[in-house]
Chain A
Amino acid sequence: MVAAVAALCVQGLATTAQAQYPEKPISIIYPWSPGQPFEVVLRKLSEEMAKELGQPVVINTVAGAGGKKSMVAAANAKPDGYTLVNNWVAPQIAGKLFDPSLPYDNNDFTPISGVMAIPFTMTVSKSHPANTMLEFIDWSKQESRTLNFGVCAPQSVPRLVGEQFMRVAGLKFNSIPNSGGCMSDNMTGLLNGSLDISVGIVPATQIMEGQLKHLVLLSDSPHPLAPDLATTKEVGLEIGWGSAVLGWGGLAAPAGTPDDVLVKLRNLVGRILQDEAFLKDLGPLRNMIDYKTPEDFQTLWTDTEVLLSPHVAVLKKGNN
């Protein structure tokens, strides 16, 4: 009798718990060190989510090891809908390709939605004689030397994309990675002449507007972040993956999260990301928003993996 009552109570609790998701704060694991525009976007999104869900949505920064720590934390989190992750291509796809022994893979995560997309560009100093990519290629032929090419972090996605472009463009280059990422070292390198050209992340390089020149967007289609910039297609140097923007980030949950929770989150996030008032509130950052349905987002994971893996292989071979 007692057992039956207890069982009933437990079941009752369980159903109310599910009916009332969320009944405690939700945390979103965020992989980068503070001060990036992505965090602002994510914070605004989490505020909107909190309004609708009636529970706080907290950003939990787990930075380190190029974002891989965040993926490990998310893969090990309880799949109950209270821990989500702002998953990025760098740790999830590129990091895993470079180091297959990492304790996570795509199957450890369930997509909620694609949230942001950051395109890459080729960038030179403002004082560089070339004003377009084709002029740059002509210039480098006259120089006839190996170019110093700044490539962000050693195992980064912009490096893979940028080196592929340099190969397609037939330029002789010497890659110069820096552990500090795309910002400071690459920019100062271009300005003081220790780099001839570098690959950049669009929102980061735009901050340096006035001191740098963007030559080409590394995609076949224009991007709202840089609508006037020539695309690879326009300069006739296609890198072979069409319009895909490989600098993506989104929201995912640990695999095994209950379906009703996923449905609720997917609908909510989808609605917010397509809401004009929300986008307006983001100001210029709205151009980073690239909503993708869970299905499209998951396809993007596998597509990216297929696109990047040969280039990771090239790089790995070069290092050994």
Chain B
Amino acid sequence: MAEFFDTITGILGLLTWTQLCFLIIGVAAGVIVGALPGVGPLLGVVMAIPFTFYMDPISSMALLMGIYQGGSYGGALSATIIGIPGTPMAAATLLDGHPMALGGRASFAVTLSTIASSFGGVLSGIVLIAVAPALASIAIKFGPSEVAAFAFLGLTTIGALSGGSAAKGWLMGFLGLLIASVGLDPVSGASRFTFGSVYLGSGISLIPLLVGLFSISEILRQIERPMRVHDTSSNVSASMEAFRTVITRPINYIRSSLMGVFIGILPGIGGVTASFLSYRAAMVFKKKGDPKFGKGNPDGVISSEAANSAVAGGALIPMLAMSIPGDPIVAVLMGGLMIQGIQPGATMFLNYPDVIDGIFAVFVLGALFILPIGLFFVRIIVVLMRLPQWAIMSVVLMISVIGTYTVAREIMDLWMLLFFGVAGYLLRKADYPLSPIVVGFVLGPIFENNFRRTGLVSQGDIVGYVADRPITLAVLVVIVLFLAFPLFNALKRKKTNIPI
């Protein structure tokens, strides 16, 4: 154990001032791209890659990983303050963060997200340092059936996300699945619902869907009935209260972070699943006396933010140890290493131990930096909130359109943005929840691809195949419990005649 702490304190001293500087730039830039609707950490990392060509490997990783970490957190700021998730995983943070801000506790809500993100990041960094090579072997145990089961588990959170009516939630979840089915069939490669269009051949893009549903529809609704976030408490007391949650709710912080790390390790499942699953777990362990989930429960914000920041550390594990990139951002990071002439994988630990240590140091420091840098942005945002609502919303509209266009520079994406904006507005009017659409849309293809691969790999005998796979079976049991729990509760309520 002493040796472990030596490693940690030792590697923090490894970074030069230049590297630290790039890390700070990276985190700050990441927070901005994460907060801007549409842009997101993936695009941020991609845009930064050319700058890294002439850097040393650790500076390059400091910049890229800073953007990754900052970006995973930044989405929470826009989700909380304007009700528009900057990244898909912040859609879970929005569920409680935004109501909290609308209720006059904006500072508290964003400070809480910042602390949770930083905590999740640091914890996942520690896991990364302590057990990276050992955990990497878990990643390869995950075949298609395990990934399919996890994606399905993620899908089961839909019913719980719908606030009032579970039926409406499921309806929206299925809508997300349906939208995701546009594009090429993952197994036969045949076109589905593309109407011969090459644009639709790559499916509906996530960014116009997300930004349209949340951002454009929110702007339309604001035109109709301005509703703004405000802050009745002073900054200082809000911060104090937010910091106090670390002591009063340590289990939620730790549980959510560990769930994030674990899901991060599994290739191809990703941040959205981590956020929503950990949110769902927080619902199971709801504290008495807390506000309802969806109405500003602090555990909702903590669980989502701690988990999605912790995903980053988890996702680095299979990349560094086995050169398996578990998510698109990590794939770009891997490209960044290869540009430096470094092959990620087991040999990297032997050939470039200094780079490995540098990456570890960068990761932990990056997560720590989220706290001061995030709180700095929180102050700015609190000041910006005093601007007139029309000014804020016009800028949001501008950024949403530009951000969406920047991703693929595709005019059709803007039409999609408009379409989903109007659709989102109508759905909001009819009181349908929007986040199940995101969950269905993101997890549907992961589930479909892996479920069908399971079918192919098992050569038709799915049941026999799954019966031999304990991890899959365990996840299936959890799914049954998740689905049965609300049903069981409903039955109980019926028996005792308590109105629902």
Given contacts A183-B325, A188-B139, A192-B142, contact A99 B191 (CB under 8 A): yes
Interface residues on B, range: 35 or more
Cα distance, A49 to B258, chains bound together (Å): 49
Say yes or no for B408: interface residue by CB 8 A criterion.
yes
Residues of A within 8 A of B333 (CB): 35
Residues of B within 8 A of A63 (CB): 202, 408
Q: Which of B140, B326, B332 counts the most chain A CB atoms within 10 A?
A: B140
Given contacts A69-B199, A72-B198, contact A188 B140 (CB under 8 A): yes
Determine how close the nearest CB of chain A comes to the CB of B39; give it in whole angstroms: 15
- Determine whether the beta carbon of A33 is less than 8 Å from that of B186: no
Interface residues on A, range: 35 or more
> 0/1 per residue, A203-225, Cβ < 8 Å to B?
00001111100000000000000
Stretch at the interface among B306-314, B340-348, B481-489: B340-348
- Which single residue of chain B is at the shortest CB-CB distance from A208? B323
Say yes or no for B175: interface residue by CB 8 A criterion.
no
User: Considering the complex, which residues of chain A in the window 23-77 have a beta carbon less than 8 Å from any beta carbon of chain B?
Assistant: 33-37, 39-40, 43, 60, 62-66, 68-69, 72
Given contacts A148-B456, A192-B141, contact A177 B186 (CB under 8 A): yes
- Determine whether the beta carbon of B142 is less than 8 Å from that of A101: no
- Determine whether the beta carbon of B459 is less than 8 Å from that of A146: yes
Say yes or no for A154: interface residue by CB 8 A criterion.
yes
Say yes or no for A171: interface residue by CB 8 A criterion.
no
Say yes or no for B49: interface residue by CB 8 A criterion.
yes
- Determine whether the beta carbon of A176 is less than 8 Å from that of B338: no
Say yes or no for A174: interface residue by CB 8 A criterion.
yes
Q: Which of B188, B189, B457 counts the most chain A CB atoms within 10 A?
A: B189
Determine how close the nearest CB of chain A comes to the CB of B59; give it in whole angstroms: 18
Name A188's contact: one of B143, B328, B331, B339 (CB within 8 Å). B143
Determine how close the nearest CB of chain B comes to the CB of A150; give it in whole angstroms: 9
Name B267's contact: one of A72, A146, A184 (CB within 8 Å). A184
Determine how close the nearest CB of chain A comes to the CB of B235; give it in whole angstroms: 39
Cα distance, A95 to B347, chains bound together (Å): 37
Q: Which of B53, B325, B457 counts the most chain A CB atoms within 10 A?
A: B457
**A-B pairs with beta carbons under 8 Å apart, 28 shown:** A35-B46, A35-B49, A35-B331, A35-B332, A35-B335, A69-B198, A102-B198, A148-B457, A154-B186, A154-B189, A175-B456, A177-B186, A177-B189, A183-B324, A184-B326, A185-B267, A185-B268, A185-B453, A188-B324, A193-B143, A194-B143, A194-B453, A207-B344, A207-B345, A208-B322, A208-B323, A209-B343, A211-B322
Interface residues of chain A, those whose CB is within 8 Å of chain B, are 33-37, 39-40, 43, 60, 62-66, 68-69, 72, 98-99, 101-103, 146, 148, 153-155, 174-180, 183-185, 187-189, 191-195, 207-211, 283-284, 319
> 12 other contacts beyond A34-B49, A183-B331, with CB at 8 A cut-off?
A37-B335, A40-B335, A63-B408, A65-B184, A66-B202, A177-B189, A179-B445, A189-B143, A194-B144, A195-B457, A208-B322, A210-B345
